[in-house]
Amino acid sequence: MERDSFVVHCPYCGRRNRVPVRKLRENPLCGNCRKPLDIRPEFLKPVDVGDADFSREVLHSSGPVLAAFWSPRCPYCRQLLPLLDETAAGYGGRIKVARIDTDRNPATASLFSIEGVPTVILFREGRAVKRMVGVLSLDEIDRNIKAVLNP
């Protein structure tokens, strides 16, 4: 399903702005405070990452990365997927959201000692700074991101 707009939180005042897809690349401003929304269109949707590109896409990415380890066989993981979509869109791509299918990428799952899915790890500058295991709500994901990004 393609979106025709994204709801993006302003990084300055927090106001939610609905931005039509055709405006994403035009440096849109916040309707409330008029500051730029700093959208990174390439990360507005989660990216699928695996053993071959985890290091490049997550550990060596500039900026924070929310890495979600999941399995298509796990119903809780399937519930998590739309929340990952909302997170990527809501932060305007300022946080890269990566999805790692642990069935297909056992080496990365083992490297980070993933014992159950879903497990979501927030990375900053290549370091795992927050680990969330089990069912999550969008609020919990948000709280964890904000705790790490705005200490």
Contact residues: Zn ion, CB under 5 A: 10, 12-13, 15, 30, 32-33
- Exactly one of 10, 13, 30, 77 is catalytic; name it: 77
| Identity of the residue, 39 or 114, whose beta carbon is nearer to Zn ion in the bound complex | 39
| Identity of the residue, 33 or 135, whose beta carbon is nearer to Zn ion in the bound complex | 33
Q: State yes or no: is 33 an active-site residue.
A: no
Min CB(93)–Zn ion separation in Å: 16
Helix axes 75-90, 138-149, angle to 10 degrees: 50
Residues 6+ apart with CB under 8 A from 11: 35, 37, 38, 92, 94
Q: State yes or no: is 13 an active-site residue.
A: no
Q: Could you tell me the two tokens for 127?
A: 């370091």
| Identity of the residue, 35 or 104, whose beta carbon is nearer to Zn ion in the bound complex | 35
Report how far residue 81's alpha carbon sits from residue 110's, in angstroms, rounded to the nearest whole number: 21
Q: Could you tell me the two tokens for 93?
A: 């791509």
Point out the residues that are catalytic: 74, 77
